[in-house]
Structure 1
Amino acid sequence: MALSRQSHGLVCFTFTLLISNSWNCPSDKEKSGSHNSIKLVNLLSIFISTWLTAAGFIHLAMFASYVPEIIELIGNRKKYGGSYSAVSGRKHIVVCGHITLESVSNFLKDFLHKDRDDVNVEIVFLHNISPNLELEALFKRHFTQVEFYQGSVLNPHDLARVKIESADACLILANKYCADPDAEDASNIMRVISIKNYHPKIRIITQMLQYHNKAHLLNIPSWNWKEGDDAICLAELKLGFIAQSCLAQGLSTMLANLFSMRSFIKIEEDTWQKYYLEGVSNEMYTEYLSSAFVGLSFPTVCELCFVKLKLLMIAIEYKSANRESR
């Protein structure tokens, strides 16, 4: 015999109470993780039983009591609080530290420059402050290769969210305009320690402002220069370029132009700007030499690269069996 609508509602309401009572006393381990699920199940059951029973107004009153908690749950949800989903066959790097519109713009302008080959690398930014509207717009323009997550590298949970254990490298940016360079370096050193404690094998490239602070990195047990860990000191580079310019005028300008990525700008007039911009458009790369060059002398290889390939070879690096560079 078919049950009436009110009977359906009573059965559903009874079933709802049984589920609610059985889930309202979880173990201590499950309390935090299942709280939101319990609320959603209760709300769903109230909606179902509302149209099945004549006592729907009672359930609507119960639903109204949950409204403040619903608003609180939605309000506490972070916009950038998800986790990175690694794609098979695609590499990713993690960038943290001083994340601002200027630092991110300069980094993306060089890393994603069109003169580079197709870079199949995804860039994951991790910062404890959500981006402003301008920075958010920049991330959206590069949404195919850039993702942002809110969190701190000092928190192991956030490091797990960005899959630091499978990342190719972790880059730490420094604030070169800070009032206290030593404090900025100390913050970046703490970031290095936290990341290395979580995953000792990760390759870290960090920016440092003061040369003497680089020595503190050597005290980190898992810091290994031979495995690719590196500290780029901005003051050291600047003073080194100035010193080399004393020996060869214009060398600092040439090196700075080679290290930066700029597109070629064509000028028809035969002026010094034309030749200068042609030189500025050149870049420096590291590539593996073909086995066809085995047995040839260095001058011969340089001549072949320049005449046939229009490349200027500066040096050759050779790594021995124990991974020592020569």
Structure 2
Amino acid sequence: MKRILVTGAEGFIGSHLVDGLLEEGHDIRAFVYYNSFNTWGWLDTFPKEKLQGIDIFTGDIRDPNGVRKAMEGIDEVYHLAALIAIPFSYHSPDSYVDTNIKGTLNVLQAAKDLGTKRVLITSTSEVYGTAKYVPIDEKHPLQGQSPYSATKIGADRLAESFYRSFYLPITIVRPFNTYGPRQSARAVIPTIIMQLLAGKEEITLGALTPTRDFNYVKDTVQGFIEIAKSENTIGEEINISTQEEISIGEMAEVLMKQINPRAKILCDEERIRPEKSEVNRLLGSNEKIKRLTAWRPRYSLEEGLHETITWLKENLDKYKVDIYNI
């Protein structure tokens, strides 16, 4: 049993990761964003018995003192706390620098000083930008096509520098597009599903031609866990991907067939990224994670979408379906 800190534990992937690590038998401290409502995000939906077994730490990833306090006595850190919405990064880039770069620096500094045994830094496939070749492996050039992706590139390179300069045992974990229960309404799959479940005959979307490599959230979580188990992953950057792609338009058609075949797609200019900011193709290579760990994707797209639709049907009241969530 390890003493593990998960930052961003209240979020979509973070809450599923807490679930997965508890199933592995670890002792979990969940770092959640402090707020005056004392809400713990998706952790608030956990059964009371499960919550009693989690050490909740409220703080702000931008505060080095709070981060250091949260990391005391910790063996491993899974650092997921970040601002991730691309449209919001267009008009509030300062907050992304403070959260994604400075927040990651706070984790790295504390880990160095406290002698933390493993640090997993969460990256994103957005750091690659539009694919120059496919499948995208970890040697693919990086390109900051949005303020969000630029700050994640900065955080990744900071992490690399701490490995090279201070021998900090870090791994940069790079999930491609993750989907599933509890995902934010700003993401494309829940956006489509929620509009369909709400009975809308016209589904409002942005660009339809970009392709994405979609991971079901439980596969992403298992990728993190398997990466942490292997000593061979220290100092590495590792994709988590299915090595399959589907366009946004095709995804919408798949979901409409399952929920409302009569629905039509309406393109909304507000949802379209600036031309040079749009990432037109993401198809990841998973050869490295397969070579270094025991991870293999377990969920097909059909299985993952079924689980996601079922969950959203039961939780539609938790979302603001009638507005564009950025």
Greater strand fraction, Structure 1 or Structure 2: 2
- Using the size of structure 1 for normalisation, the TM-score is 0.38
More relative contact order in 1 or in 2 (CA 8 Å, sep 6+)? 2
Structure with the greater alpha carbon radius of gyration: 1
Compute the TM-score of the two structures, normalised by the length of structure 2: 0.38
